[in-house]
Chains A and B, each alone.
Chain A
Amino acid sequence: KAGVTQTPRYLIKTRGQQVTLSCSPISGHRSVSWYQQTPGQGLQFLFEYFSETQRNKGNFPGRFSGRQFSNSRSEMNVSTLELGDSALYLCASSLGGQRGYTFGSGTRLTVV
């Protein structure tokens, strides 16, 4: 059974650019969550999607957005990148309910 796949693994972008990260959940999982992890702030919740609907949202500016497709694959977009957006972005999927999440290996974004 394939795990959660995140692409790309590494990304270097310039300030002001935008970026799109992709997450393919485990087959059958309908809930996808995104997290930002930095040494200073730890793991911060970005948003959660269930059956193509955003169900929860964290305290991030509107530059951070996401979506989920009918096959449960999800993308997150960050526009007008800032140096502080450099982080490991983790995606996690779940069947839903209180069943726990399986995490992908993450996308490491560096903004220069």
Chain B
Amino acid sequence: SQELEQSPQSLIVQEGKNLTINCTSSKTLYGLYWYKQKYGEGLIFLMMLQKGGEEKSHEKITAKLDEKKQQSSLHITASQPSHAGIYLCGADTSGTYKYIFGTGTRLKVLA
């Protein structure tokens, strides 16, 4: 099984709707990152969370970290077609700067 599980695996929403993507770790988190990827391209850094309870926002995207539950959520408000892509969470679960990634959530936003 994956050390980082993301849910849902894919999501189709109507433009303007809110949505949430979850990332759950089976191990301790030493820093969690959210990235976005367009198909076949590199990953674009969205935000980094390090402390339990930490919450960060960038434009219409908000990410939270629940250290006790070893879980993070990414919330998009009023989704737009430009939000479409694959969202990946990445984390160091060993404390050795070895970053692993979740399986990704494929988001499609219908105009």
Binds B, one of A11-19, A63-71, A73-81, A101-109: A101-109
* Cβ-closest chain A residue relative to B41: A105
Max chain A Cβ within 10 angstroms of own Cβ: one of B50, B90, B92: B90
A42 touches B40 (CB 8 A): no
Partner of B92, one of A50, A88, A98: A98
* Cβ-closest chain B residue relative to A50: B97
Using a Cβ–Cβ cut-off of 8 Å, how many residues does chain B contribute to the interface with A? 25
By a CB distance below 8 angstroms, the chain B residues around A61 are: none
A106 touches B97 (CB 8 A): no
What total count of A-B pairs have CB within 8 Å? 62
B42 touches A56 (CB 8 A): no
* Cβ-closest chain A residue relative to B47: A100
By a CB distance below 8 angstroms, the chain A residues around B102 are: 42
By a CB distance below 8 angstroms, the chain B residues around A35 are: 101
Contacts A42-B104, A98-B30; is A103 near B42 (CB within 8 Å)?
Answer: yes
B97 touches A96 (CB 8 A): yes
By a CB distance below 8 angstroms, the chain B residues around A96 are: 97
Cα-based distance from A35 to B48 in the complex (angstroms) = 19
By a CB distance below 8 angstroms, the chain A residues around B30 are: 98
Partner of B35, one of A97, A103, A104: A103
CB-based closest 8 A-B pairs: A56-B98, A103-B42, A43-B101, A98-B31, A103-B43, A105-B42, A100-B48, A42-B103
Could you name 29 residue pairs across A and B whose Cβ atoms are closer than 8 Å?
Answer: A4-B42, A31-B97, A42-B102, A42-B104, A43-B88, A43-B90, A43-B104, A45-B100, A48-B99, A55-B96, A55-B97, A56-B96, A56-B97, A88-B40, A90-B43, A98-B30, A98-B48, A98-B50, A98-B97, A99-B48, A100-B33, A100-B48, A101-B45, A103-B44, A103-B45, A104-B42, A105-B41, A105-B42, A106-B41
B residues whose Cβ falls under 8 Å from a Cβ of A? 2, 30-31, 33, 35, 40-45, 48, 50, 88, 90, 92, 96-104
